[in-house]
Amino acid sequence: MVNTHDHTEPPRKRKRVTIADIAQRAGVTSGAVSLAVNGKPGVSDATRARILDVARELRWRPSHAAQTLMGKNSEAVGLVLARPAEVIGEEIFFSKFIAGVQSTLSGRGYSLMLQMAEDATAECAIHQSWILDGRVDGVLVLDPRIDDPRVEALASLDHPTVVVGGETDHGSVRSVRVDNAGAMRLIMDHLHGLGHDRVAYITGDQAFRHISERMDAFAQFCVDQGVWGQTLAGNFDPARAREATARLAGAPHPPTAIVYDSEVMTIAGMSTLASLGLRVPGDVSVLSWEDSTTCQVLHPTITALSRDAVSLGRTAAAEILQLIAGKPVEQGTVESRVVHRESTSAPES
């Protein structure tokens, strides 16, 4: 009888090489290996050379925990992204920010440890694991929330932390300040200057601090300038942006301009407007909080807030490296400006 069952064993995980393995292969004690690989006196030059040759042959690398116990840095910075994978994949901000972070870290011999999490609770668990295992010298935090549990948890661990867009500058936790209110005023000044007095704002996740700051600035501008304003939650989701856009367009007195919190939501909104037979900017002007190459080549081209996410990443990385080194942290600034393109113009009526 032919046995049709597959008895192939699954591939075994490669065993981590230890100091004991090197000692056995080199014919010396584990203590001698420890002295040799850490550059300490106590072994002859010939023995040290033999031990290092064996270590290279076995592809040995020191563990993060061992390096931490010896007071050595891991030369890595951690970043956890607690956003849906679809959002991270679609939003240009993340790739630009990460590129800026990595460009600065690489120049100092540091690497970026990147991981995704389902929510803030899972993110806190990853931070704790990284820090207790000595895997990262510092942590970057994105999307600060109101009453953010991550900030308190990281502060209790007393580990170098930089919160991008945060408000905390105490002890081991510092912030890169982002002027969201000022950026919203730039946007509203642009639209109001064109003559728009009915403006809607389709937001990202309203639990985020930076979205709350933008909403407050939007409402305050409308009060100060006598502009009719309406805010709807889009949650960085193209489907929700389309729904919100359709709702606004179908109102008895629709807005003459719409601000979207991301370029992905902007594009989804413009598609909805086109499907409803509305012209951009003839019937409604459109402005994106994020700029991208797509904003520059789409027809009509999209007016956008340019805030250089690459520079923001470089600034965040520079601050965490200063904090790790125990140096005074110099606050960096990232400038914002509105780039006027075809999607915004004076209202026709």
Residue 69 has pLDDT above 60, yes or no: no
Whole-number pLDDT of residue 36: 84
The whole-number pLDDT of residue 332 equals: 62
Cα dist. 311→34, 85, 187 in Å? 42, 23, 20
pLDDT score at 63: 61
Question: What pLDDT, on the 0 to 100 scale, is given for residue 12?
Answer: 47
* pLDDT for residue 13: 44
In this model, does residue 72 exceed pLDDT 90?
no
CA distance 305 to 284: 18
Question: What would the mean pLDDT of 43-59 be, rounded to a whole number?
Answer: 88
pLDDT in tens, 181-209: 999 999 999 999 999 999 999 999 999 99
| β partners of residue 288 | 260, 304
The mean pLDDT of 63-84, rounded to a whole number, is 70
Q: Once rounded to an integer, what is the mean pLDDT over residues 41-53?
A: 88
- The pLDDT tens digits for 108-143 are 889 999 999 988 889 999 999 888 888 899 999 999
pLDDT confidence of 333, banded at 50, 70, 90?
low
At residue 229, does pLDDT exceed 90? yes
Of 232, 261, 230, the closest CA to residue 244 belongs to 232
pLDDT for 338: 96
Q: How confident is the model at residue 73 (pLDDT cuts 50, 70, 90)?
A: low
Query: What pTM was estimated for this model as a whole?
Result: 0.77
Tell whether the model's pLDDT for residue 86 goes beyond 80.
no
The pLDDT-based confidence of 18 (bands split at 50, 70, 90) is confident
What CA–CA distance (Å, rounded) separates 111 from 108? Answer: 9
Ordered structural domains, the chain, with CATH: 19-61 (1.10.260.40), 76-179+310-324 (3.40.50.2300), 181-307 (3.40.50.2300)
CB 47 within 8 A of CB 33: no
Expressed in angstroms, the distance from the first to the final Cα of the chain is 85
Indicate the helix (H) or strand (E) that contains 304.
strand 303-306
Average pLDDT, the chain: 88
Q: How far apart are CA 236 and CA 91, in angstroms?
A: 9
What's the pLDDT score for residue 134?
82
> What is the spatial distance between Cα 170 and Cα 166, in angstroms, rounded to a whole number?
12
Give the pLDDT of residue 43.
Answer: 86
User: How large a percentage of the chain has pLDDT more than 70?
Assistant: 91
Question: In this structure, which amino acid lies at residue 130?
Answer: W
% helix, strand, coil for the chain, step of 5: 45, 15, 40
Across 213-222, 308-317, 324-333, the highest mean pLDDT is recorded for 213-222
More confident residue, 176 or 232: 232
The partner residues of 170 in beta bridges, in order of sequence, read: 173
Query: Is 80 exceeded by the pLDDT of residue 68?
Result: no
User: Which DSSP category does 261 fall into?
Assistant: S
What's the whole-number mean pLDDT along residues 22-48?
86
Q: Do the beta carbons of residue 178 and residue 164 sit within 8 Å?
A: yes
Question: Residues 245-269: what's their mean pLDDT?
Answer: 96
φ/ψ of 175, rounded to 5, equals: -130, 150
Q: In this predicted model, which residue has the larger pLDDT, 135 or 255?
A: 255
Burial 108-128 (b: 16+ CB within 10 A, else e): eebebbeeebeebeebbebbe
What percentage of the chain carries pLDDT values higher than 90?
55
Confidence of residue 5 (pLDDT cuts 50, 70, 90): very low
